[in-house]
């Protein structure tokens, strides 16, 4: 007897199916030995009959074993298939239930998160700021309004919504929001500075100066208060005071392109064109996409009769802002000076279509 087989059987005692298959094979071997012994004892006819599979008792036994094995195998196979189908059905049902539970949970979680964000003033505030950075000012206004509805004393939301209104040139509404912010926090310097800027945009220069001065008293290092007060002084043609305020703003925030542009404009008013060009150039260096600075520098070059250079700056301004009527109008005037009337007429027509008909009227006098 092969000890390895015994060892395997011993080891395979856990695998009951393998043991059964080995037992059936042993029965067949024993039957074969009995058949040979019968041939030796009985002789011819019985031996012949024993050799015939349909009449031999051994063959009959073998058939019974085979049939039994086949039947058992088929039953086992059917049982296994049935179990497999039941298992798959149960597994599928469980997976479906788990998916339903998981999907429902995710939906509820997402829904809860969205509702929480809609009810969280800080989240709404962040979203409003993002919208404002993108230039979606109306969206920002709506989000700030929602934040204010949930937190009525949200000073920052009032201030920022006021800024968004001013970006849309709704200065009166902006002033109302800045005023509310000041009422909630009378020491909020930036709200005074912003309201001063809005008053200046409405040509209410004296009120603008008053607000900006208040802001500076509250925060002497607030650059925007100086530049907004400079704008108001500029509106009153107090150019020296305006330059002084712009210079202070630049000192406090030297990377702000618009401060240089503002001071350059004032130098232009004083006919200090070289100094104006210097400030405009610095503004462009800080912000190469600053269309206003190109337009303003072009105007300074025009006054210095540097028409070719003026045309270059106007062209760049138009490239950056194709709807800038002033740039088209000024370039038309420069072409007129150079007696390039076909281009002058083309630019003048475009400027007039955009709302500035000065050059067009010059050509048609």
CA distance 330 to 275: 21
19-61 residue pLDDT tens: 333 333 344 334 444 444 544 544 444 333 344 444 334 444 3
pLDDT higher at 111 or 227? 227
The answer to the question of residue 68 being in a domain is yes
Name residues whose C-beta falls within 8 Å of residue 35's C-beta, 6 or more positions apart in sequence.
50, 56, 58
Burial class of residue 103 in the structure, from the number of CB atoms within 10 Å of its CB (0-12 exposed, 13-18 middle, 19+ buried): exposed
CA distance 142 to 119: 14
Query: Is the confidence at residue 205, as pLDDT, over 50?
Result: yes
Mean pLDDT of the chain: 80
Task: State the pLDDT confidence band at 218, using cuts at 50, 70 and 90.
Answer: very high
Q: Is the dihedral of CA 19, 24, 28, 34 positive or negative?
A: positive
The answer to the question of residue 287 being in a domain is no
The answer to the question of residue 60 being in a domain is yes
Crossing angle (nearest 10°) for helices 223-235 and 205-218: 160
- pTM for the whole structure: 0.68
Domain that includes residue 60, residue range = 17-72
Model pLDDT, residue 365: 82
Average pLDDT over residues 323-341: 97
The answer to the question of residue 65 being in a domain is yes
The answer to the question of residue 302 being in a domain is no
The answer to the question of residue 333 being in a domain is no
Query: Is the confidence at residue 300, as pLDDT, over 60?
Result: yes
The answer to the question of residue 34 being in a domain is yes
Tokens of 341: 């009337």
166-194 residue pLDDT tens: 999 999 999 999 999 999 999 999 999 99
The answer to the question of residue 5 being in a domain is no
Query: Is the confidence at residue 147, as pLDDT, over 50?
Result: yes
**Domains held by the chain: number:** 1
Name residues whose C-beta falls within 8 Å of residue 330's C-beta, 6 or more positions apart in sequence.
295, 298, 299, 302, 310, 314, 359
Task: State the pLDDT confidence band at 119, using cuts at 50, 70 and 90.
Answer: confident
């Amino acid at each position: 007897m092969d000890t390895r087989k015994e060892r395997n059987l011993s080891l395979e005692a856990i695998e009951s199916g393998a043991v059964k298959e080995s037992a059936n094979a042993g029965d067949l071997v024993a039957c074969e030995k009995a058949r040979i012994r019968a041939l030796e004892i009985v002789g011819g006819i019985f031996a012949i009959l024993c050799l015939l599979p349909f009449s031999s008792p051994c063959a009959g036994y073998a058939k019974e074993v085979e049939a039994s094995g086949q039947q058992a195998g088929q039953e086992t196979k059917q049982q296994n298939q049935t179990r497999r189908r039941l298992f798959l059905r149960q597994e599928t049902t469980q997976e479906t239930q788990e998916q339903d539970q998981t999907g429902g949970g995710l939906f509820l979680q997402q829904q809860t998160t969205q509702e929480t964000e809609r009810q969280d003033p800080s989240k709404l505030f962040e979203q409003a700021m993002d919208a404002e950075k993108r230039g979606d000012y109306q969206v920002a206004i709506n989000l700030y309004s929602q934040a204010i509805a949930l937190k009525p004393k949200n000073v920052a939301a009032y201030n920022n919504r006021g800024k968004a209104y001013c970006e849309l040139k709704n200065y009166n509404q902006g002033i109302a929001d800045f005023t509310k912010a000041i009422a909630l926090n009378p020491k909020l310097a930036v709200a005074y500075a912003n309201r001063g800027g809005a008053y200046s945009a409405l040509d209410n220069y004296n009120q603008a100066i008053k607000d900006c001065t208040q802001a500076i008293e509250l925060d002497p290092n607030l650059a925007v208060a100086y530049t907004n007060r400079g704008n108001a002084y500029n509106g009153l043609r107090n150019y020296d005071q305006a330059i002084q305020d712009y210079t202070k703003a630049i000192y406090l925030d030297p990377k702000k392109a618009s401060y240089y542009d503002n001071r350059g404009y004032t130098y232009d008013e004083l006919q200090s064109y070289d100094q104006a060009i210097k400030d405009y150039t610095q503004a462009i260096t800080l912000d190469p996409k600053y269309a206003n600075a190109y337009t303003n520098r072009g105007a300074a070059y025009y006054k210095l009769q540097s028409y070719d250079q003026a045309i270059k700056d106007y062209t760049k301004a138009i490239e950056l802002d194709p709807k800038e009527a002033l740039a088209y109008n000024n370039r038309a005037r420069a072409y007129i000076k150079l007696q390039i009337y076909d281009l002058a007429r083309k630019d003048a027509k475009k400027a007039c279509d955009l709302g500035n008909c000065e050059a067009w009227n010059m050509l048609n006098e």
